Structure 1
Amino acid sequence: MTLTARPSPDDARLLDVLRDWLPTRRWFPAKGQVAELSAVASFRLAPDVTVLLVRARAGSIDAVLQVPLVLTDGAHDDAIGVLDDRAVLDGAGHPEFLRAWLAVADGPGADVDVWSARVVSGEQSNTSVILPGSRPGILKVLRAVAAGENPDVDVPRHLVAVGWQHVPAPLAWLQGRWPGPDGELVTGYLGVLAAFVDAAEDGFELACAYAARGESFRAPATDLGAVTASMHAALVTAYGTDASEHGPEGVARAVAARFSWALSAVPSLSRFTDGVAQVVGEVRALPAAPARQRVHGDLHLGQVLRSHGAWFIMDFEGEPLAPLEQRTRPDLALRDLAGLLRSVDYAGAVGGLTGAQAADWTSDARAGLLAGYGGGDQTLLRALELDKTLYEAVYESRNRPTWLPIPVAGLERLTGGDLER
């Protein structure tokens, strides 16, 4: 079923209740800025369940936010506010919202207990809710909604359809229509319920624990490399490849541009100028580059789960506030592998390793990933990893200066001629 949002006289009144609360949410996109908020329209899922769509604008940010709400009688300590003597509650994990959502969603469905639902803590761009039951699931309520397909729904559906088993299978999904910027209705996803992976360990936390014990991560990394390669093969089966010409020159230009940007933000990176130029030159000298294809787009150890000895890859959405076209654009499959390699460096550092011990542990894990993946042009991979590391250097300098040595160590390796270490 596709729901259609309708303007309601209560929309503006509900927004007034939410004005002070919205900027405090982790998923609010305009942190630290004064945002202009306006009510777009609302979905009425049940008599006491409303999903309000709020447009938030601040600087370059222009997002439509989904805010599920439950109105109920009586006093509630967790109420956002009061409207017409009724408490207004955040509905994302509320049983009444969950029951109404499941009643209108498409898909094979799941046997879940909405009364035992638990909101996952730590989510930033969306809200995830674990629903126990005989066929448990995890519901992702998309906070920034956008017109068109959502990769986090569309890609897993395609992968399951071609028989790939390393992604939590979608069990239910819900689409909606709402007024776009020009007043015309647009259609997009509101949320997806995926199969819950039991006894799962977060890949990054798992790797950090291995590093903290000084235990080799090579075997799990080898398995993950093989699963990543099989994902790329499945994505080609599901989506095909991009036949347009994307040669090495495009990669070389992108890395050079990334370095110029990074250097303007972190002038101390100037000592890597010659090394970056050498990598760029080596890429330009390549006779060809692989065909571009659908990829994960933001793959790192925090996007994978380990359960009963098997890896599962999740979170295909990409950056929620990025344009859909950008998030679904075909790319080089090796970019996903480069993201995993960078994540290994972070796991070693966060796990407490330093110096030669860190170099040995990360080298061993990296070798496992590369062996499991089973191929790929090493010059191209190096350039893609360099591109990612330059981005990290700018991010850390701005947000976590004490972590800047992690990407700097990566730049030293990548511009120094030693790909394996």
Structure 2
Amino acid sequence: MPKTASLDPSRTGIAQPMASLGELLREWLPQQRWFAGKDRPVTDLRLLSMTELYPGCLHLLVQADHAPVPTPGGGTATPGGDCYQLLIGVQEHLSPRLGRALIGRAESGPFAGLTVYDALLDPRSAHLLLERLRHPGTLGPLHFHSDPAVPLPSGLAPRLLDAEQSNTSLVYGDAFILKVFRRIQPGVNPDLEVPVALAEQGCGRVPAPVAWFRTTQPQEATLGVLQPFLPDASDGWTLALHALSRGEDFTAEAHELGRATADVHLALAAAFPGGDPDGGGAMATAMTERLEAAALAVPALRPFVSGLRTAFAALVACDPGPSAQRIHGDLHLGQVLRAGREWFVIDFEGEPSRPLAERRSVHSPVRDIAGMLRSFDYAARQRRPWRPEWARRCREAYCAGYAVRAGWDPRKKHALLRAYETDRAVYEVLYEARHRPAWLPVPMAAIERLAVRGG
């Protein structure tokens, strides 16, 4: 490629590339499934780090800042912005097979006249990224690591996992899957930290990482994790929808999934000694603040705020339930896989919209349980007529299976479970309003139910 010499960061510096990329990224980023600020105008894009992975491909960390947003008190606050990981390819001409990767054509700056695209969608880039992981080492601020006990063969054909998610995943030869985190926060990502710790506990419910990469600039942060891929597995969401479409019961699977969840929680409790969680009052305050912020952003939520507050207020005097511990943090049917008769739990990143420190802190395991119960409701509402009894049976079976392994029954922690389910439904309302407005009626139906005392 005759023009790729200008990609050398030592010659372009760290500011000049944005003269070519700034306007292109400002338009392209909000269109991406994993971009968190769709409801907040981008006010500035700043280049935090740039490394040339190979000629024609740059690894970038870009900070997107946003306009002020309203706060529950009636004022405004300016978010600090979000950092995103990008692999940017630059060529004179883009192959037609990479049409969906197109970002645009640079009109000015060091890349003027060149085509800019998302290199993670390019098989060549995906192949070279795996080669970096196969040969651990350092490239500028990027550090590549692998488990020496697990050989990574060469020549594994890459393919993009074409599914809705908040990151980008590449499957290599149906043997490994690489999750490339898009939204980057300083610190060790739980999706690396937790599976490593669970592997040391001998927990077979979670695939152990075999390689990963991180950055030290501008701060230490995890960038991606490679794990074994289960080619014959199906995710829980797909299995649930198939059962619904065939009119089949799903309670046996839900019961086993409850047992698997308890297995993971027990292993997490052993791997990460528990700490003191916030008391019921502090938890109720935090949940109420999230509710009020969501109601500002989603008008449909406002008529139910008063009723939903009662679920959180009950936390002050209710049974605190099991001890706080590390949990999954974003558990639902899309985060579990069934291979044969076994359930596996994946994606320990937690809710990407929440701060990393919060996602790595201890919480009640009831939070995970509430997430899965909400997922059964989501599945049941994908078909018409809605089958609430299907969701109710799954919820009962899941909790019963959990109780067999854990030694306590989530259904007997009614106030606690209601509060966490309400908090989850509020999160879902905000998420759907921002990303999938057509799905908003699903969590709103739960909001209507949960707003009634005892719902």
Q: Does 1:42 align with 2:64?
A: no
Q: Does 1:352 align with 2:356?
A: no
Deviation at 1:284, TM superposition (A): 3.2
Partner of residue 224, structure 2 = 191
* Distance in 2 (alpha carbons) for counterparts of 1:255 and 1:12: 41
Q: Secondary structure at the match of 1:54?
A: strand
Range with bigger deviation, 406-415 or 227-236: 406-415
Asked if 2 retains the 8 angstrom alpha-carbon contact of 1:56 and 1:63, the reply is yes
Residues 39 and 388 (structure 1), Cα distance of their counterparts in 2 relative to 1, 3 Å cut: closer
Q: Does 1:369 align with 2:395?
A: no
Which TM-score applies when normalising by structure 1? 0.83
Q: Does 1:24 align with 2:28?
A: yes
**Deviation sequence 1:119-143 (CA, Å, 0-9, x none):** 122344321111116xx11111122
Q: Does 1:8 align with 2:6?
A: no
Residues 340 and 101 (structure 1), Cα distance of their counterparts in 2 relative to 1, 3 Å cut: same
Residues 412 and 9 (structure 1), Cα distance of their counterparts in 2 relative to 1, 3 Å cut: same
**Deviation sequence 1:241-291 (CA, Å, 0-9, x none):** 11x2643333444455555556664467646845853x4565433354432
Partner of residue 166, structure 2 = 125
**Deviation sequence 1:42-97 (CA, Å, 0-9, x none):** 22344554312222222325233222245668763436557488765533242233
Partner of residue 4, structure 2 = none
Asked if 2 retains the 8 angstrom alpha-carbon contact of 1:73 and 1:87, the reply is yes
Partner of residue 248, structure 2 = 215
Q: Does 1:62 align with 2:81?
A: yes
2:325 alignment partner AA:
Q
Q: Secondary structure at the match of 2:82?
A: strand
* Distance in 1 (alpha carbons) for counterparts of 2:434 and 2:83: 27
Deviation at 1:332, TM superposition (A): 0.6
Aligned length: 401
Identity of aligned residues (%): 35
* Distance in 2 (alpha carbons) for counterparts of 1:323 and 1:386: 20
Residues 138 and 101 (structure 1), Cα distance of their counterparts in 2 relative to 1, 3 Å cut: same
Residues 88 and 315 (structure 1), Cα distance of their counterparts in 2 relative to 1, 3 Å cut: same
Asked if 2 retains the 8 angstrom alpha-carbon contact of 1:303 and 1:313, the reply is yes
* Distance in 1 (alpha carbons) for counterparts of 2:376 and 2:302: 22
* Distance in 2 (alpha carbons) for counterparts of 1:286 and 1:319: 26
* Distance in 2 (alpha carbons) for counterparts of 1:283 and 1:146: 31
Q: Does 1:152 align with 2:191?
A: yes
Deviation at 1:16, TM superposition (A): 4.0
Deviation at 1:335, TM superposition (A): 0.5
1:62 alignment partner AA:
G
Partner of residue 139, structure 2 = none
Residues 85 and 200 (structure 1), Cα distance of their counterparts in 2 relative to 1, 3 Å cut: same
Residues 161 and 404 (structure 1), Cα distance of their counterparts in 2 relative to 1, 3 Å cut: same
Partner of residue 131, structure 2 = 99
Residues 116 and 267 (structure 1), Cα distance of their counterparts in 2 relative to 1, 3 Å cut: closer
* Distance in 2 (alpha carbons) for counterparts of 1:102 and 1:46: 16
Aligned CA RMSD, in angstroms, stands at 3.2
1:8 alignment partner AA:
S
* Distance in 2 (alpha carbons) for counterparts of 1:75 and 1:393: 39
Q: Secondary structure at the match of 2:348?
A: coil
1:31 alignment partner AA:
K
1:191 alignment partner AA:
G
Range with bigger deviation, 161-170 or 17-26: 17-26
Partner of residue 95, structure 2 = 76
1:19 alignment partner AA:
G
Q: Does 1:172 align with 2:201?
A: no
1:363 alignment partner AA:
R
The unaligned stretches of length 5 or more in structure 2 are: 1-7, 68-78, 137-143, 404-408
**Deviation sequence 1:132-160 (CA, Å, 0-9, x none):** 16xx1111112222221111111111111
1:24 alignment partner AA:
W
Q: Does 1:247 align with 2:279?
A: yes
Residues 141 and 274 (structure 1), Cα distance of their counterparts in 2 relative to 1, 3 Å cut: closer
Partner of residue 333, structure 1 = 365
